[in-house]
C-alpha cells in the first residue's frame, strides 16, 4: 500500500473507530456512508481490516445487505448451468435487477493491483478476507447478485467461513455423480490419471483464477474446489444448508425434469425473500428454451480399476446420495 493510502486509512480509522467505541452507531453509519461516496477505495480498505469483527456486531448489521445468491458445484460448467437458469427466472418472473458474477474473477477485477498481490496463495490472509471480498462486490454491484463459485465451503479458526448468513440470502448446489464427472473429463481430453487427480484432488492443489489487469499485469488467486467428496460434503452439510438456506439440485434432474426443477428453484428463491412470481406458465417458457448438448454427448468407458478408485475415494457419498435414486 502506498504511503498516501496508508495515511488516508489511518485517518479514516481514527475518524470512524471512536464512534464504535462510544456505541454511537448512528454517527458511524453516516460517516461511513459519506466515506463511500467520497473515496470507495479507502472505504474498501477500512472494511478489509475490520470485516470479521464487524460481522459479529449486531449493531453494525446495516453494513451487510444479505443479497447474495450462490451458484455452486464441483465443475464450472454445472455452476454456469444453474446460475444461468436463476438469472432467467429473475428476468422472466421478477422486477428485481440481478447481477451475474464469477466470484474470484470479479474480486480480482475489483481489487487494486497492489491489494491483489496479497491473495496469490491459499494463505491465512486469503481465507480471512472472504467477508471483505463479498462486501467489496456488494459496494460495486448494489442489489441482488447470483455469484458462481466452485470453491468448497470452509471454516477457518472456528469463526470465519466461506460466507456468512448476513451476506448470503440463499444458495444452490448442483450435485453430479462422480462417475459422470470422470466421463466428462476423459471426453474433454484428460488422461485417466489426470481425471482422477482432478476428481479426487490427490495432489491437494487448488486451481488458480487469473485475469489481466492491463497488458503488462496479470493477477491471480486460488479457487480451492478440493476433491469431489470434500466439495459435496461441505455444501450439502445440514448446518450450512439451514444457516444459509441451501438447496441441492441433481444435475440429471436439471436436464430431464427441467420444468419441475425450475418450479423448485423459483419457490426456494421466493421463500428466501426475493420478489419471484412462481408462475408455471412463465417457468415453462424457460424450460422450453433451455438447451443442453449434454443429453446427446457420448461418454467414455470406465474400467473396473478406475471405478474402484472412485468408489474408494467417494463411496460414502455415492451411497448417501445416489444409491436409492431411480434412473431418469
State pLDDT tens for residues 212-222. Answer: 887 788 899 99
Predicted confidence at residue 40, as pLDDT, reads 86
| Residue 312 banded pLDDT, cuts 50, 70, 90 | very high
How far from the centroid of its chain's Cα atoms is residue 255's Cα? 22
- What's the whole-model pTM score? 0.92
Element spanning 304, H or E: helix 304-322
Residue 158 has pLDDT above 90, yes or no: no
CB 268 within 8 A of CB 172: yes
Dihedral sign, Cα of residue 259, residue 262, residue 264, residue 267: negative
Highest mean pLDDT pick, 2-11, 113-122, 277-286: 277-286
What is the layout of strands, in order, in the sheet containing 246-250?
98-102, 144-149, 68-73, 168-175, 246-250
- What's the whole-number average pLDDT of the chain? 91
For domain 69-322, is the CATH number 1.20.950? Answer: no
Predicted confidence at residue 327, as pLDDT, reads 60
How far is the C-alpha of 210 from the C-alpha of 100, rounded, in Å?
Answer: 19
CB 90 within 8 A of CB 98: yes
Predicted confidence at residue 2, as pLDDT, reads 67
Predicted confidence at residue 44, as pLDDT, reads 87
Predicted confidence at residue 135, as pLDDT, reads 94
Predicted confidence at residue 175, as pLDDT, reads 98
Amino acid at each position: 500500500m502506498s504511503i498516501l493510502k496508508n495515511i488516508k486509512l489511518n485517518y479514516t480509522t481514527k475518524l470512524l473507530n471512536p464512534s464504535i467505541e462510544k456505541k454511537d452507531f448512528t454517527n458511524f453509519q453516516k460517516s461511513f456512508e459519506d466515506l463511500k461516496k467520497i473515496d470507495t477505495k479507502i472505504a474498501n480498505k477500512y472494511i478489509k481490516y475490520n470485516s470479521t469483527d464487524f460481522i459479529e456486531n449486531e449493531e453494525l448489521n446495516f453494513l451487510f445487505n444479505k443479497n447474495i445468491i450462490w451458484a455452486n458445484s464441483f465443475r464450472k460448467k454445472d455452476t454456469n448451468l444453474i446460475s444461468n437458469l436463476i438469472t432467467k427466472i429473475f428476468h422472466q418472473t421478477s422486477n428485481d435487477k440481478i447481477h451475474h458474477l464469477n466470484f474470484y474473477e470479479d474480486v480480482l477485477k475489483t481489487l487494486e493491483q497492489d491489494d491483489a498481490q496479497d491473495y496469490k496463495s491459499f494463505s491465512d490472509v486469503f481465507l480471512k478476507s472472504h467477508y471483505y471480498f463479498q462486501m467489496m462486490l456488494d459496494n460495486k454491484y448494489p442489489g441482488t447478485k447470483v455469484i458462481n463459485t466452485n470453491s468448497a465451503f470452509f471454516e477457518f479458526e472456528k469463526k470465519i467461513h466461506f460466507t456468512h448468513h448476513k451476506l448470503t440470502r440463499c444458495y444452490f448446489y448442483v450435485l453430479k455423480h462422480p462417475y459422470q464427472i470422470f466421463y466428462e473429463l476423459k471426453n474433454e481430453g484428460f488422461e485417466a490419471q489426470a481425471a482422477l487427480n482432478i476428481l479426487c484432488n490427490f495432489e491437494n492443489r487448488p486451481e488458480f483464477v487469473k485475469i489481466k489487469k492491463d497488458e503488462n499485469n496479470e493477477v491471480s488467486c486460488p479457487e480451492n474446489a478440493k476433491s469431489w467428496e470434500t466439495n459435496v460434503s461441505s455444501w450439502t452439510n445440514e448446518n450450512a444448508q439451514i444457516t444459509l438456506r441451501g438447496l441441492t439440485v441433481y444435475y440429471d434432474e436439471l436436464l430431464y425434469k427441467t420444468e419441475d426443477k425450475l418450479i423448485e428453484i423459483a419457490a426456494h428463491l421466493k421463500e428466501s425473500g426475493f420478489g419471484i412470481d412462481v408462475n408455471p406458465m412463465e417457468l415453462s417458457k424457460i424450460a422450453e428454451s433451455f438447451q443442453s448438448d449434454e443429453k446427446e454427448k457420448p461418454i467414455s468407458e470406465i474400467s473396473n480399476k478406475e471405478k474402484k478408485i472412485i468408489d474408494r475415494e467417494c463411496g460414502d457419498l455415492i451411497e448417501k446420495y445416489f444409491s436409492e435414486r431411480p434412473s431418469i
